[in-house]
Structure formats: structure tokens, C-alpha cells
A and B are shown apart, each in its own frame.
Chain A
Amino acid sequence: MSLSRKCKPSTSARSVKAEVFSSSTSPAEMEAIARRLRRHIITMTGRAGSGHPGGSLSAVEILLALYFKVMRHKPQDPHWPERDRFILSKGHAAPALYATLAECGYLPLDELATLRQMDSCLQGHTDCTLTPGVEMSAGALGQGLSFAIGVALAGRLNAKDYRVHVLLGDGECDEGQVWEAAMSAAHFKVDNLVAIVDNNGQQIDGWNREVMNLDPFPAKWQAFGWQVIEVEGHSIPQLSQAFDKAKKIKGQPAVIIAHTVKGKGVSFMENNPHFHGTAPTAEEVKLALKELA
């Protein structure tokens, strides 16, 4: 039996010089990285011939804000005990996370080409035993918020000041466990936890409103005892401000509802549920990369 190998640590210049990841990246640079992340997502899924580009593209700015502005982390030391945590609950957005981790230096960029292949350290859905920087094995929806509460409670018990960020899909919020977790996060008063919902409005079978209506969505979170912050989910400044605001909330958890567009950045993928779980063809990859040039 051949086991998938673990990723080798990256040796890129960026990661070696970065002790704790700095937040000095300029807006122009952030825009350039966002475009690179989108190009990675298209190339990776196109090459793999399967995967979830739509919900990966909608999460790009959220990941970018966290990894390049908000979080304290060390790509060369993924298990650094003081690190801020990011937990991807919507595990199908793995390509977006892998691309972000590679751009930070957690893994070599050329590793991205192995997505979903035999023996790759980049599994179809996240596997925390194989990929440096991945905190949780996800893909079975609805579990990440609960897991994040455990990580946040451990931080409190250990008197650590790290913060825990967990990204959920809006469709994922159909899962009952999300609301069990929402209830308990407020009950346990975990204020070192921020949930972000990638609110792109669609799930595999179509628009949420038609498949399973979540409205009134912000009111649901409020009713469960959360502070709700709504932002335009493709605006890095708005996202950064929201994370700052969330940090100041004490005694209760905060959720950032990030209004996003599924397939963001590629005209024919935007708001197109076909690309939730279907990779672009070779022709579509070419077209998409042209748009993202």
C-alpha cells in the first residue's frame, strides 16, 4: 500500500525571510496576489480534471485578508503554538487554501500541479495529516465550526492569545451541526473565535433560496447569540476592518457574513452553479487565464 507523501517544506525566498508573516503588503500587491490565487485555482482544477472552482474563487479575498493581513503565523513553522488558526470548514474550497498556503511559503508552488493525483499531498478535500498549514481534515460539511470551538476553548484553557478563524459556506449552513455549534459558541462565550461565511448564494443544486432557504440569515446568527458583521467579501479593506472589529468584541463570538460571488473573477463562471463541482475544460482554462492575465 502506498501512502500519500507529505509536502516538503518550501524553500522560496519569501518564506525563509518571513519570521512572523508581516502585514505590510501593499494594496497593489494584494491585488496581484489575488489574481495569482485565481490563476492557481483555475490551473489546478483544470489540470486535475475535477474539483470545486466556484466556491474556491469566491473565497480568495477572505483567505488573502486572513493570511496576508490579519493572522499571525509562520509558514516555516506550521505548528507554531502561538499561531492564529485558520480552519477551512467548507473543505471543497481546498484549491483556494492550497494556493494561499503555497503563496505564503507553506509548500512549494510547483506542488499545486499535483492536486488530486495519486500520492499527492494535496487531496481533493483537505487532509491535515498531509498538508502543512491545514488544521483540520474537512470535506464532510458542518464540522468545522464545532472543531474551531474546541481549538478556541483550548486556547482559553492554555491562556494563549491566539485567535481562531473558521470559514463556512452558506450552503453548508443547511447542516444542523452548524447551529448546534453556533448555540454552544455563544453559550461558552468564545470570543477568540470568528466565523466567516462565504455567502456566495449558491450550492451545488442552484441558488440557496431555491434549494434550502437560509433567510433571514444574519438574524439567525444574531438569534443564536452572535455579533454579526456584514461585508462585501471581495473587498480586502472591508474584510480587514471587519476582522479588527471582531477582535474587539468580548464575551460573545462574531460572524462575518462576507457577500461574495461564486466563481468570482471569471466571467463565465460567476454565479454559475455548474462550476461548483466541475473543473474547467482545457478551453475554459485558456479563456479564464486570459481574463485573469
Chain B
Amino acid sequence: MTQEFYLRQAYGETLVALGRENPDIVVLDADLSRSTRTILFAEKFPERFFNCGIAEQNMVSIAAGLASSGKIPFASTFAVFVPGRCFDQIRMSIAQPRLNVKLVVTHGGISVGEDGTSHQSIEDLALIGALPGFTVIVPADAIETVQAVRAVVAHPGPCYIRLCRPKVELVYDQSYRFKLGKAVTMRRGGDATIIAIGLMVKTALEAAESLKGKGIDCRVLNMSTLKPIDEAAIIQAAADTGAIVTAEEHLEHGGLGSAVARVVATHQPVPMGLVAIKDTYAKSGKAVELLERYGLTAKDIEQAVHAAIKRKRPK
């Protein structure tokens, strides 16, 4: 039986556990604590929770001040409002001085659904990934979320964790151990590699299973740490399999596909395919309908794998 969980619920519960363990953990939100689930922390530790109202720029710079004074602030709202609305604040208050602020955002990507364009964050990874020194993580399920949230506490410096809105099927069990900066091999294979992040990891596994039936063995990597990206795993995958397809709930500009292409083009050129949102904004709809409309299904990944394999150079 498949099990689905909200990543943001896992985040909220982890914050409560961290709050008990570490008095320096503080949490900020911008009037979305019920949705981001930071409300769980607020209920337990009201004196360490700061609801900044609908004022994200202020929230981000307050978090920087707290971090400069030794606190470990987690600041949360929807991905579309951080870093888009607060880019300069994040750049100068957090990234430049490399302060220990943890931005954990929810409702990333188009799977936010019916709220439409204004609430669908499809550029955030490009923006945050452009900032020197930022660690960027996109967990694949609730188990990885718990571990990633814990990992960033143990890793001083600016961190960004992007979670999606809907429930996601587990791709890990409790024995899983997240390692910051390390890609996880979800499936072995030698014909092509699919590299995915977030809820697209599950979709990539479905695509790989289907391709297996057609005689194509795909390696599947979960690149949950988008930055610093695991260059060695990408170079190895390119060398071993000769074709790479990336899958993400983000624009193809500046996201996972771009980051992987930079490594591939620099170190081990092989044909690539990018499964990502093309140069457009999405609209209202159910998450599953949107993922289909904007080309983010297992079928889209399969097609990209076929196309990339076709372009392989003969050995």
C-alpha cells in the first residue's frame, strides 16, 4: 500500500522536535503559518515564534539580525514570495554575510494548483541558486524532508529548502539517511540517467519502471541537494550511461536542468533532455492536470529519454 504525506507537515513536526532540543531555534512566518505548518512550533514555543504579518522583506531581514546574534532562524512562507519578493534582502542581509538563516518555503512549483500563476513558484530555484554560498535543497518526500531540515541545522550558513503543497508518496523508508550535497541513486541502470528533484523523483521512478518494460535500463538519481550540486555523481552518470534527462517542477532556465547541463557540458558532454516548464506561466487547475499540461509526467520523461538515447554518439 502506498503512503502519502505532506512535506510541510513533516517540516512543522520537525521544527517542534528541534525546538525542544535547541533553545536557539526560532521561527518566523508571514501570515501563512497554518499552511506552512510553522503553527505547530508557534503553539509549543510562542516566545520563539515571530509572525511578521504579510511583510516578507521585513521577515527575511529580521531573520538575518537574529542569525547575526547567534540564533538559528527558520523563516517560512510560500516559495513564490521568497525569494522573488525579497531577493535583495536575501542577497544583502543573508547571502553576502553568509548568515545562518534557514529559508524553508512551501507550495513550490505548479503543483500548488488552483491558486494559479500568482502562487506558482517556477523561478525560485533560479533566483536562490544564483546567490553565492546558498545551499539549496528540494526533498523528494516527507522522510527526506525531516532529515534535510535537521541537516541544515548542523550545517551553518544560508540554506533554502523548497517543499511542495500536495501530499507526496514516500520514496524512502525510515532507514534512509540524507547526506547534504550527495545525490542518491534510487535505481541502477546503464542506458540513460534520469536526474530528478522534489515530487518529480517519484515520477522519474515511474518512468524508469515503464522504460524497463521496453528494454531500457535507466539510472535514477535524486539530486535533492541542488546546490552545491553533486558534480561527481553527474559526471559518473554521463560517463556510465551516455545520456541524461533531468526532471523538475521549475522553469528550464536556471533550475536543475541548467545546473546539470553546466556540469555535463564542462566535464563530460553527452546528449541531454530537460523535462521542465518551458518559457511560460502556468494557470489554475488541479495539480495533476497542470503537471500533465506543462509536460511534467512520466510519459514526458520517457519521451525525453528516448530522444536523448537516439542522439548518443556511437561508441
Closest-by-CB residue of B relative to A150 is: B65
Give the residues in chain A near B57, CB-CB below 8 Å.
142-143, 146, 176-177, 180
B45 to chain A, nearest CB (A): 11
Q: Interface stretch among A27-35, A43-51, A151-159, A220-228?
A: A151-159
Taking a contact as CB atoms under 8 Å apart, the answer to whether B58 and A138 are in contact is no
- Tell me whether B10 is interfacial, beta carbon within 8 Å: no
- Tell me whether A200 is interfacial, beta carbon within 8 Å: no
Q: Given contacts A140-B92, A181-B58, are A150 and B53 in contact (CB under 8 A)?
A: no
Closest-by-CB residue of B relative to A151 is: B65
- Tell me whether A136 is interfacial, beta carbon within 8 Å: yes
1/0 contact trace for B56-81 toward A, CB 8 Å?
Answer: 01111111111111110100000000
Give the residues in chain B near A155, CB-CB below 8 Å.
69
Q: Which of B211-231 contact A (CB under 8 A)?
A: none
> For this complex, into which size category does the number of interface residues on chain B fall?
20 to 34
* Most chain A C-beta atoms within 10 Å of own C-beta, residue among B61, B64, B93: B61
Q: How many residue pairs between the two chains, A and B, have CB atoms under 8 Å in the bound complex?
A: 106
Secondary structure of the B contact surface, majority rule: helix
Residue in A143, A154, A176 whose beta carbon sits within 8 Å of that of B93 in the complex:
A143
- Tell me whether A183 is interfacial, beta carbon within 8 Å: yes
Taking a contact as CB atoms under 8 Å apart, the answer to whether A147 and B98 are in contact is no
Q: Given contacts A157-B47, A180-B55, A184-B53, are A150 and B62 in contact (CB under 8 A)?
A: yes
- Tell me whether B52 is interfacial, beta carbon within 8 Å: yes
Closest-by-CB residue of B relative to A87 is: B65
Taking a contact as CB atoms under 8 Å apart, the answer to whether A135 and B68 are in contact is yes
Closest-by-CB residue of B relative to A164 is: B65
Taking a contact as CB atoms under 8 Å apart, the answer to whether B64 and A147 are in contact is yes
Closest-by-CB residue of B relative to A175 is: B57
A92 to chain B, nearest CB (A): 13
- Report the Cα distance A138→B59, complex, angstroms: 17
Give the residues in chain B near A184, CB-CB below 8 Å.
52-53, 55, 58, 62
Taking a contact as CB atoms under 8 Å apart, the answer to whether B58 and A177 are in contact is yes
A sample of 7 inter-chain contacts (CB < 8 A) reads: A137-B96, A153-B26, A153-B50, A154-B68, A157-B47, A157-B48, A184-B53
Q: A154-B68, A184-B55, A184-B62 are in contact. List 20 more A-B contacts (CB 8 A).
A: A135-B68, A136-B68, A136-B93, A146-B59, A146-B61, A146-B65, A146-B89, A147-B61, A147-B62, A147-B65, A150-B68, A151-B65, A155-B69, A157-B71, A180-B52, A180-B57, A181-B62, A183-B53, A184-B53, A184-B58
